[in-house]
Structure 1
């Protein structure tokens, strides 16, 4: 399936009869991928298909990385302007400090108050990279997304999306944009590494846009999220509160491949992807969120990074795992490697952001340099409310 088809498949049903430009489709993916779908087919979660990024990301991720696995040894890596390390060249090591970071987050998460309300409300900002059609520079298109998910069955899910405008992705890109006359309406090509990079593009504006509201009934009347399978609010609130039980519950949906295709994927990588969605998006109990962090601490070949700054300027810790990026049949440079990260507040276990960093360019990421944050979604708010948006 090509990117446009994937975007179309992920589009909320209540908007199917409304013409939408490609930038809006790209923004919808960051939230639509965590929502249930009417069809039982497998679905992609969390990450937009098109490249996403953070302006000035390289300067924001100076950190000391700590690796966890089952082979022994301790040695934190030296600070660097990139969170990533050389792919597939070092043997993972156990680092007790890394495990202690996740256990601290688990403890903090479990101590948070457990309150509920009429709607689970999330606010996030997604960032998408686009390449200018008439200049050698890259742009970051930012979208603010809000979702209200009802706690009661038979309700409707509400959403609100607003473009925050486009801006150059880095100081060098800004200089190139200024040399092009600092246009406020910019024609862009299909994203780097896309199936048809020479296809006709579309215009992006540097000015913020108007909010777009929508609402739709819950799938099957009660399904609110995708957690390996479509789940109801009752399912989420009743998840096991111990890491072993939670792992067993999730693995009932694991079939040996990734969440979007028949590409083989290890159970650890699959659990990581699904658990990041649980921690970031879903109204589970504090004890379940704590169990999720403890489960991540037991996965092999994860990496824990301290002092990571997200796109909103907030500093947290991150847990990450590498994933091989699927290459197109005609892709140059072979298979790529991504590092998928969850950035969180260690004291409370609250999710700050999730993103994917290019470790080795290839496939859809062939046009990006190592260290590029290929996709990003920052969480501004997540909690219960009794108020829904005005209709």
Structure 2
């Protein structure tokens, strides 16, 4: 069965062909490929109109980083403040100041809160999703797809989506050589741990598909721990503790996909907040509050100079998650430190297992790169 058909078969019946964005598509594909066999039951949460995963603005001017006031009145230096050292026989060496994870996130929060916000009738996002699989020949294959979403500001409207499979391709040069040695097949057979047989994944791009459907209940637009309206998103608290409390009212001890899989509150909060930061139509101050909220989590880590799947360099904040099947993944949000805008959400293999069996530690199993997002007055068309 084609992976897209497998994906559609796994969707709850009441969802039909309702528009979904890139992250929803990736999550559902992973779900479809790891479904229990006949006789087992796995419950899913109530309908989620869209995960949300995008970034407002394709290019934003860098904002000079100001000192960030910490609780208690202290201040951190700007995130890129250099230290200069010189000797009598050597030129001055500029060294980058090393900041703690908390300081990096607080600086990003300050920068995010200063961004200007455009106006428009539609919230538009464009993303490219990549997922890594192992082909029956033993080499790795990367599937790729592009998705766009238009969400109306007003209630009672329709949500539009446009998606296209960009085809699959060997993930590296070594994988390409193995693929060529196998005769360069036009379709890849993908192994699915725990399932019989294989899925077929074409190398050629698919057709562009445009869909539209009424908003759920006439006003539900995104999923943020629960189905929320545009009014909910625009009215979120812009203080980190209040935002945390608002989000955690939807936390019930399980993960974002199934109530049968336990999840720690820090991991759940991180995964929900990553979507809020990267692509939801929240105010700049709320986006800044989300960064400050993440700065208060002891379990997050920050890594600088991370390159996303689109080749863009940013800073990453991440948290580890244990997956059914024995795998451990690092959920990673890559963002532009100078503007506080998200670039990509990624899942990096820490310990292989389950659907990630056969992938080496450090491999990016799944990524959703945000090409653009923001308000527009240009209505979508077929």
TM over 0.5: yes
Aligned to 2:176: 174
Aligned to 1:20: none
- 1:129 deviates by 2.3
Aligned to 1:223: 220
Which of residues 118, 124, 127 is equivalent to 2:127? 124
User: Number of matched residues?
Assistant: 317
Check whether the contact 2:131–2:142 (CA below 8 A) recurs between aligned residues: yes
Point out the structure with the larger strand share. 2
CA distances 1:179-228 after superposition (whole Å, capped 9, x unpaired): 12333x1231344x3x31x42432412x3333111111111110000111
Aligned to 2:205: 208
Residue 339 (structure 1) aligned with residue 330 (structure 2)? yes
- 1:7 deviates by 6.3
Distance 2:215 2:47 in 1: 18
Distance 1:278 1:301, change over 3 A: same
Aligned to 2:255: 258
- 1:166 deviates by 1.8
Residue 364 (structure 1) aligned with residue 355 (structure 2)? yes
Aligned to 1:73: none
Which sections of structure 1, spanning at least 5 residues, go unmatched? Answer: 17-23, 34-38, 48-94, 328-334
Check whether the contact 1:105–1:347 (CA below 8 A) recurs between aligned residues: yes
Distance 1:15 1:45 in 2: 13
Distance 1:136 1:31, change over 3 A: closer
Please tell me whether Structure 1 or Structure 2 has the larger radius of gyration of its CA atoms.
Answer: 2
Aligned to 1:143: 145
CA distances 1:214-263 after superposition (whole Å, capped 9, x unpaired): 11111111000011110000000000011011001111111122222233
Aligned to 2:271: 273
Check whether the contact 1:306–1:316 (CA below 8 A) recurs between aligned residues: yes
Which sections of structure 2, spanning at least 5 residues, go unmatched? Answer: 30-43, 53-97
Aligned to 1:317: 315
- 1:317 deviates by 0.2
Distance 1:316 1:142 in 2: 22
Aligned to 2:240: 243
- Equivalent residues in 2 for 1:1-391 (5 A)? 4=6, 8-9=10-11, 13=15, 15=17, 29-30=25-26, 41=46, 97-133=100-136, 135-183=137-185, 185-191=186-192, 193=193, 195-196=194-195, 198-205=196-203, 207-259=204-256, 260-327=258-325, 335-391=326-382
Q: Give the structure-1-normalised TM-score.
A: 0.75
Distance 1:311 1:25, change over 3 A: closer
Distance 1:174 1:155 in 2: 46
Distance 1:141 1:234 in 2: 36
- 1:130 deviates by 3.2
Aligned to 2:33: none
Distance 1:98 1:276, change over 3 A: same
Aligned to 2:76: none
Check whether the contact 2:167–2:206 (CA below 8 A) recurs between aligned residues: yes
Distance 1:30 1:388, change over 3 A: farther
Q: RMSD between aligned alpha carbons?
A: 2.8
Distance 1:203 1:25 in 2: 20
Q: Give the structure-2-normalised TM-score.
A: 0.76
SS at match of 2:349: strand
Distance 2:124 2:327 in 1: 35
